[in-house]
Amino acid sequence: MTASPTSLDHLHDIIVPDPVPWLPLAPGWYVLMFALLIATTWISIRLIQQWQKNRFRREALFELETISPSQLPALVKRVTLSIAPREQVACLSGDDWLEFLDQTGNTTAFTERVGQQLLDLSYAPAQSAGTEFSDLKTTIRSWILNSSLQTSNF
């Protein structure tokens, strides 16, 4: 008895091709890796530059934690010199100084509220109250974090 041509006994296993090798990669992958390398390098450089640019903020915030009331005006002046040219900052005093701080910090805390104590500390450092000093430090901390030169009319 001969086997029928439609019998399942004559079937062979499917021949699976070899897997596609990973190397060498297609040229598009090399272009993509190069583009990712460039992008990663650029982003890293920008982050490092930003971190270095804000070093004065980190140092000022650290110093603010241990500073005495009489040293606050000098600290604020040093931070201001980090964000603005000396020619714009050195000549400011009184209300002009407070307005400059308000404009660079995008606030009104210096001209209208607790920030006015900064002027008093410049000339009478012995007069510092605990709660008021704490509020002033909080205002200065916020100004240090948010300050930037936003106007050029000074």
Residue-wise pLDDT for 24-48, tens only, equals 888 999 999 999 999 999 999 999 9
- The pLDDT of residue 13 is 84
Residue with the bigger pLDDT between 65 and 113: it is 65
Residue 119: pLDDT band with limits 50, 70, 90: confident
pTM across the whole model: 0.68
Question: Given pLDDT bands bounded at 50, 70 and 90, which one contains residue 130?
Answer: low
pLDDT at 106 over 70: yes
From the centroid of its chain, how far is CA 83? 14
Please, which pLDDT band fits residue 52 given cuts at 50, 70 and 90?
very high
Tell me, what amino acid is at 52? Q
Say how far apart CA 121 and CA 110 lie, in whole Å: 13
Helices (H), the chain: 27-53, 55-66, 72-83, 86-89, 94-105, 109-112, 117-123, 130-146
- Residues ≥6 apart with Cβ < 8 Å to 98: 110, 111, 115, 116, 118, 119
Give yes or no for residue 154 having a pLDDT over 60: no
d(CA 93, CA 76): 12
Tokens of 101: 């701080």
Structure tokens at 120: 């008093």
Dist. CA 145–CA 60, nearest whole Å: 10
Query: What pLDDT score was predicted for residue 8?
Result: 77
Q: Can you tell me the mean pLDDT for 67-86?
A: 87
What is the reported pLDDT for 2? Answer: 66
